[in-house]
Amino acid sequence: MSSLREQFQDYIAERRRRRARLVTKDGRCIIEYGNINYTRNFAFLADFWTTFVEIRWRFVLFFFIASFSLSWFIFGLLWYCIARANGDLTWQDPPSDHTPCVQNVGGLTAAFLYSLETQTTIGYGGRAITPFCPGAVALIIIQSLIGAIINCFLCGVILAKISLPKKRAKTITFSEMAVICPRNNSLCLSIRVANLRKTLMIGSQVYGKLLRTTTTPDGETIIMDQVSIDFMVDAGNDNPFFVCPLTLYHVIDKRSPFFEMAVDNIHNQDFELVVFLDGTAESTSCSCQVRTSYIPHEFMWGYNFMPIISRSKEGKYKVDFSNFSKVVPVATAHCSYCYHNIKGHHHHSTLGCENQGFEVIEIDDPPNVTKM
């Protein structure tokens, strides 16, 4: 029973941590809007194109089926009324020399089939309009125009949803955890990002926002205070060559909001680090943004990512994605202040601070990796 109780408590704690996020790991923003004026809701109808593009696929398919079926049925009723007014129906017993408005339309089912054939331009040949009814001529023109509008609009919505830049963002992934360790003679916060497609992201820019609750000197509480976090790569932070996985790092110095954090209190902090990657897809020239977030329990102090880029004997570069989220412990000072001010604390610990559920491997000898 105690084991079940602990598992239930861990489950509740994990649910609370997930609920506390503003941005999920896959980039969705979790926020609720309340007390919106009723008149403001009509703004979504005024911008109906964006509304249709952003709704879920199930609703798009529902509107697709409903719009065509309803238009076929409504125009089928109109064709039935025209046939009835002209005396074309079977139960009206038209004479042998009777001139119908639409040939072979003798009932409601036949009128519906003729409406479907007209709007979809099937034309089986059994039912055809005659030039002796001006109302029928006007109705077929109106139905053809409305059918073309419905076709253009719904096909455009489906094409726009298929080509959304959000789909390209799905092939860019971030590491599940962020690590803190020495790098380039500085204590750095590092994350890893990879482009799963061989096509490049042009003009990529990476930046972050630290969301936390702060209190001003006047006593005002700011629920979502945003602090800019600068990320860099070894080649610089301007337009990185995103052809292979990159390790992004933020230098933890006196200007960094992480400077006051340490290995023993970082998991007790209340913040969320949101990381953004903006770029343009090379194949479609569409701009897209990839987002992810890290909460305190997703930071690993005293660990570093494993190398994943190597070079074969034939001279080809190889990326091993099996090591994308694997880390190894490294000697790291237990706080940023100690790293910068106390001599000899650069190698305080070789054990690091573990997070449950994250794969850690030990390496006896460093792998033979050739850097690009």
pLDDT tens-digit map of 122-152: 888 889 999 989 999 999 999 999 999 999 9
Residue 288 confidence (pLDDT): 85
Element holding 338 (H helix, E strand)? helix 336-341
Poorest-pLDDT segment among 87-101, 209-223, 332-346:
332-346
DSSP symbols for 87-130: T-SGGG---TT---SEET--SHHHHHHHHHHHHHT---SSSEE-
Residue 274 confidence (pLDDT): 93
Is pLDDT at 19 greater than 90 in this prediction? no
Is pLDDT at 339 greater than 80 in this prediction? no
Residue 361 confidence (pLDDT): 46
Q: What is the pLDDT of residues 60-76, one digit of tens each?
A: 999 999 999 999 999 99
Residue 348 confidence (pLDDT): 45
Burial of residue 185 (number of CB atoms within 10 Å: 0-12, 13-18, 19+): exposed
Query: What proportion of the chain, given as a percentage, has pLDDT over 70?
Result: 83
**347 vs 117: which has the higher pLDDT:** 117
At residue 273 the predicted structure's pLDDT band, cuts being 50, 70 and 90, is very high
Is pLDDT at 364 greater than 90 in this prediction? no
The pair of three-digit structure tokens given for residue 154, joined into one six-digit string: 């719904």
Whole-model pTM: value is 0.69
Q: Is the dihedral of CA 327, 330, 334, 338 positive or negative?
A: negative
Q: Kind of pairing, strands 102-103 and 271-281?
A: unpaired
Query: What is the average per-residue pLDDT within 12-20?
Result: 61
Is pLDDT at 363 greater than 80 in this prediction? no
Query: What is the average per-residue pLDDT within 272-278?
Result: 91
Residue ranges with strand state E in 231-334: 246-251, 271-281, 287-294, 299-301, 303-305, 309-311, 317-319, 327-329
Average pLDDT, the chain: 82
365 DSSP 8-state letter? S
**97 vs 345: which has the higher pLDDT:** 97
Query: What is the average per-residue pLDDT within 167-172?
Result: 80
Return the top range by mean pLDDT from 144-148, 201-205, 252-256.
Answer: 144-148
Poorest-pLDDT segment among 39-48, 171-180, 332-341:
39-48
Whether the Cβ atoms of residue 71 and residue 119 lie closer than 8 Å to each other = yes
Poorest-pLDDT segment among 10-19, 159-168, 281-290, 294-303:
10-19
Only one residue has tokens 């455009």, namely 156
Which domains does the chain show, CATH number per domain? 41-163 (1.10.287.70), 167-341 (2.60.40.1400)
